[in-house]
Amino acid sequence: MSNPEEHKEFYYVDPGIGKKLHTCPYSLSKEGNDIRDFIIPPIGYELTGFIFFPREHEGDGFYDGKIVAQYKKKPLLPRLIKPSLYILTFLGIVGILGILAYFLNSQPKPVFEASNTQKPMTESPVISADSTTQTQVYCTSTNTEVVEQKTEEVVVEKESEETIVEVEKEKKEILVEEKKPEKDIVKEEQKEVLAEKGQKEVPVEKKPEKEEILTKDSFQQEFWNLIHKRDPRMDSYHNLYVNNKGKVKGEEFDYLRLVILENTKAYKEWMKKLKAVPESELQDINTIAALRDALK
């Protein structure tokens, strides 16, 4: 709470084309140095300062004026550097992952080398027609054995690959069954039991979620009830402020925070003025401007 002896003037904060946090208080200086952290500039702009506008007439509320935030555009190059770095980093990561995936998936093809079992022929003094025929038959039989050996190896390899694929499928099915939640298993068992008994599954009713109770209308209603009843307890107004802090905005909330709850001495003087207002006149007051006029 501010001390009226130290700060006798305060100014409303207007964010201009930007935004301000809902917790932004009033400013105690025309330059706005105490509320700079509460201002959110638009994208591509930066805050340069504030322009002061004095209070024009009494109907402007209880502020002594307002300060309006001023901005200027940021240079284009610094704004592009950061997103460009993000894009380049993302592309670099994707490229590295693609290269790793390519090398991991590429497997070398099996190479079959046929061992040449044929031994070099020794020199023979005489080569007859019968021996030549036998040599040709031997070569043919050797080549046939090599081809058959290659075919058997390919068939064995295919069978082994098919076996591995089938085993992996069975493992995946087992893992899926094991990962099945216990709740689903219990529900299925209950459904089976109910099906055997010929009963239907009873749907579970969902409890409705709690709705929000405090709204701006309820705050205003409670605020004016306290005013109309002339509630003398400062705690009543303090509890109303705490329960609605950060939820509602408006003249009533600002008046409650800055005038009624400013300090104990100011509250006693304000309550003294409120009790002096006639009952019939007080019940018809529903605006802050009318309340201020009645308390003068």
Tens-place pLDDT, residues 241-266:
999 988 888 988 999 889 999 899 99
Model confidence at 1: pLDDT above 50: no
My answer on whether 24 and 56 are in the same domain is yes
Domain membership of residue 91 (yes or no) is: no
Reported as a single tens digit per residue, the pLDDT across 97-130 is 999 998 888 866 555 544 455 555 555 544 554 5
Q: Write down the mean pLDDT value for the chain.
A: 75
Distance CA 3, CA 250 (A): 22
User: Mean per-residue pLDDT for 228-246?
Assistant: 91
Domain count of the chain?
3
> Worst-scoring range by mean pLDDT, 37-41, 203-207, 227-231?
203-207
What is the pTM (predicted TM-score) of this model? 0.31
Q: Is residue 43 part of a domain?
A: yes
Which pairing describes strands 45-54 and 65-73: parallel, antiparallel, or unpaired? antiparallel
User: Do 239 and 175 reside in the same domain of the chain?
Assistant: no
User: For residue 76, what pLDDT band results from cuts at 50, 70 and 90?
Assistant: confident
Domain-ending residue, one of 74, 101, 120: 74
pLDDT of 200 higher than 90 = no
Task: Average the pLDDT over each of 29-38, 86-95, 187-196 and give the range with the smallest value.
Answer: 187-196
Any domain includes 29:
yes
pLDDT tens-place string over residues 130-141: 555 454 544 454
Domain span at 53: 12-74
Please say if the pLDDT value at position 146 is more than 60: no
38-42, 94-98, 174-178: range with lowest mean pLDDT? 174-178
